Amino acid sequence: MKRRDFIKTGTLAGLGAGLTILDFPVFGKNAPGNKLVLGVMGVNSRGNWLAQVAAKLPGAEIGYICDVEDGAIEKGLKAVAGAQERKPQVIKDIRRLLERRDFDALIIAAPDHWHAPAAIMAAAAGKHVYVEKPCAHNPHEGEMLVAAAKKYNRLVQMGNQRRSWPNLQQAVKEVKEEGIIGKVHYGRGWYVNDRKPIGTGKQVPVPGTLDWDLWQGPAPRQSYLDNIVHYNWHWRWHWGTSETCNNATHELDCLRWFMDVDFPTKVTSAGGRYAYPKDDWETPDTQTLNFEFEGGKAIAWEGRSCDPFTLEGSGRGFTLFGENGSLYNSGGDSYKILDNKNKVVKEVKQAANPNQSVTNTVSPAGEFYDAIHLNNFLESIRGNTTLHSEINTGYRSTLLCLLGNIAQRTGRILHTDPKNGHILHDREAMAMWGRTYEKGWDPGRLVG
């Protein structure tokens, strides 16, 4: 679909009664002729989708694709070809791409171990950054990314798209400003899936289509296994961040947003690799996290990667519990308000979305809901609005997931500083605050 068709068909206009589309200028100084050129790093799956969506936005063009695998590059070029006239240039090495001065911002959807290092490198190169969740592989990276955004005066937005969804923005106002359910003391989120075992990887020669050294980038080198690329790296601690950062980031971000909390005082985790314990999957497939905050507030999250039984009728979502009732979200841009007798007193439904599909694994909510978050990023670069999820916000939500993983790996309760989330009185746990890097790749050299 071309950009002009994207604007006309309703993906950016008229997606349902009552849905207000914000910050989508088409005329004047922000008309499509006032172009922002973007690079996209990682286009096999999620990045492929984001490139396609961004290319359709008014005044945006994908100028560069950066990936280290030939098949992914081919997919990325094909996706963008249907959205814009210009064919992007391919540069496999992110270091070489960031030497170019003819693009404005970098979209990062590479594996998790790349997110913060690439974002820091991009900020240092003068680029604005849209980085997919999680914004960091470990807490220290998140802190460095926040510092880099400030040092280089760059806009950095994390891809927790719900911050841009109109109905959830309305719900936050009702909860925080209007007190529709009274003081909120507890929030609960969940995510379930039906993931299958990943088997035991065999050490084989690296395929000729893949630059394994560049794929690993900042991560210390390991031998190539045949069950890591493209997706199963998620479940290996060396590169991935578990189902928590893969999916809990969204619900925990919403709960933190609605409940107006930042850093916890206490973190606990229980779970493990229970469903298929004899494969290479290292991170938990079953996990419950609990966080306590100052002011008498607590958050819990339950994840089951390999057990699809739903909670409260939905595979993902969150519930807020207040003194006068509760708010229920089933994962999309909708919500219900219930009183203390469990009677529904208000229901707001997600607008009909012609591009939504539950089978779309890279964007189950549909094209519109990614487009509005990306467009908020672009309009912030133009100076017309502010970021809905600037990196300080994104990092604090990511940190909850990362602290949960540290609690899980140490098997201990973490007591944390409510001022910055740092782990208190536990040297072993605090040793997991950062990581070692392959020689020459430490992003700390760019932050100082």
State pLDDT tens for residues 231-246.
999 999 999 999 999 9
- Domain extent for 49: 3-162
Whether 245 is covered by a domain: the verdict is yes
**Three-state secondary structure along the chain?**
CCHHHHHHCCCCCCCCCCCCCCCCCCCHHHCCCCCEEEEEECCCCHHHHHHHHHHCCCCEEEEEEECCEHHHHHHHHHHHHCCCCCCCEECCCHHHHCCCCCCCEEEECCCHHHHHHHHHHHHHCCCEEEECCCCCCCHHHHHHHHHHHHHCCCCEEECCHHHHCHHHHHHHHHHHCCCCCCCEEEEEEEEECECCCCCCCCECCCCCCECHHHHHCCCCCCCCECCCCCCHHHHCCCCCCHHHHHHHHHHHHHHHHHHCCCCCCEEEEEEECCCCCCCCCCCCCEEEEEEEECCCEEEEEEEECECCCCECCECEEEEEEECCEEEEECCCCCEEEECCCCCEEEEECCCCCCCCCCCCCCCCCCHHHHHHHHHHHHHHHCCCCCCCCEHHHHHHHHHHHHHHHHHHHHCCCEEECCCCCCECCCHHHHHHHCCCCCCCCCHHHHCC
Over pLDDT 70: what percentage of the chain?
A: 90
Given a cut of 90, whether residue 206 has pLDDT beyond it is yes
Last residue of a domain, one of 162, 187, 206: 162
Residue 142 lies in a domain: yes
Quick: pLDDT tens for 244-254.
Answer: 999 999 999 99
- My answer on whether 105 and 208 are in the same domain is no
Number of domains into which the chain is organized:
2
| Whether residue 11 is found in the same domain as residue 128 | yes
Please check whether residues 95 and 172 belong to one and the same domain: no
Assess whether pLDDT exceeds 70 at residue 353: no
Residue 374 placed within a domain: no
* Same domain flag for 137 and 176: no
CATH code of the domain covering residue 78: 3.40.50.720
On whether both 206 and 333 belong to a single domain, the answer is: yes
Please check whether residue 380 lies inside any domain of the structure: no
CATH number of the domain at 270, please: 3.30.360.10
Is residue 108 situated within a structural domain? yes
pLDDT confidence of residue 148 = 98
pTM: 0.92
Residue 173 inside a domain? The answer is yes
**Based on the domain organization, do 123 and 217 belong to the same domain?**
no
The arithmetic mean of pLDDT across residues 305-310, rounded, is: 96
> Which pLDDT belongs to residue 360?
52
Same domain, residue pair 133 and 175: no
Average pLDDT of every residue of the chain: 92
Choose one of 162, 194, 218: the last residue of a domain.
162
Residues 140 and 268 in one domain: no
What pLDDT does residue 82 have?
A: 80
Does residue 364 lie in a domain region?
A: no
Instruction: Verify that 180 and 85 share a domain, yes or no.
Output: no
